[in-house]
Amino acid sequence: MDKKKQQSLVRILIAILIILSVSGIWYAKNNNDKETEIGSDHPDFVLEAMEIDLDQLKSYGLPIIIDFGADSCDPCKEMAPVLKELNAELRGKAIIKFVDVWKYPEAAKGYPLSLIPTQMFFDQEGKPYTPSDPAGMGMTMYESNETKEHVFTMHEGGMTKEQLLEVLKEMGLEE
């Protein structure tokens, strides 16, 4: 092969490598969303939980709702389809969890629960949600006895999909 053909071949190969590199970078940027990373069977994003690793959930940088209830509680049964729907619709945008406190009482330890259903809320920064109108939204905010730091925001009783979406938006849900 003469020198001109070799140079042409090298130029063509370099052009092909550049095109492949640019295509690979574009593909990686456009197909690396949280939903792809999370997957439908990732345990941190499955609705029903036997335990809650709050630090792990907070590490995703997403708003979090944890509903403490029971499969055999009537108000909890009313909320079940709403939680299931939101969990499916918002995968990768928010974390929606359900803990059956009668089946898994250890998972509820450390939370100030007095009735079910009770929802706990954490914003996308992992901090307890601070509602714009706590009383109007039926929210209770708890603080540490020692530090007086805000540690929990919760709602007792059932909530509608619209109410939960309103809270999620206030907590930083990205649409």
pLDDT at 26: 65
* Residue type, position 6, single letter: Q
**pLDDT at site 28:** 64
The per-residue pLDDT string of the chain (175 residues; one tens digit each, 9 = 90 and over) reads 677 778 887 788 787 878 877 777 766 666 544 443 455 568 889 999 999 999 999 999 999 999 999 999 999 999 999 999 999 999 999 999 999 999 999 999 989 999 999 999 999 999 999 999 999 999 999 999 999 999 999 999 999 999 999 999 999 887 7
Give per-residue burial for 125-150: e unless 16+ CB within 10 Å, then b. ebebbebeeeeebebeeeeeeeeeee
Spans of all domains in the chain: 3-32, 40-170
- Global pTM? 0.76
CATH class of 40-170: alpha beta
Distances (CA, A) of 170 to 62, 167, 174: 12, 5, 10
Give the whole-angstrom CA distance, residue 29 versus residue 86: 26
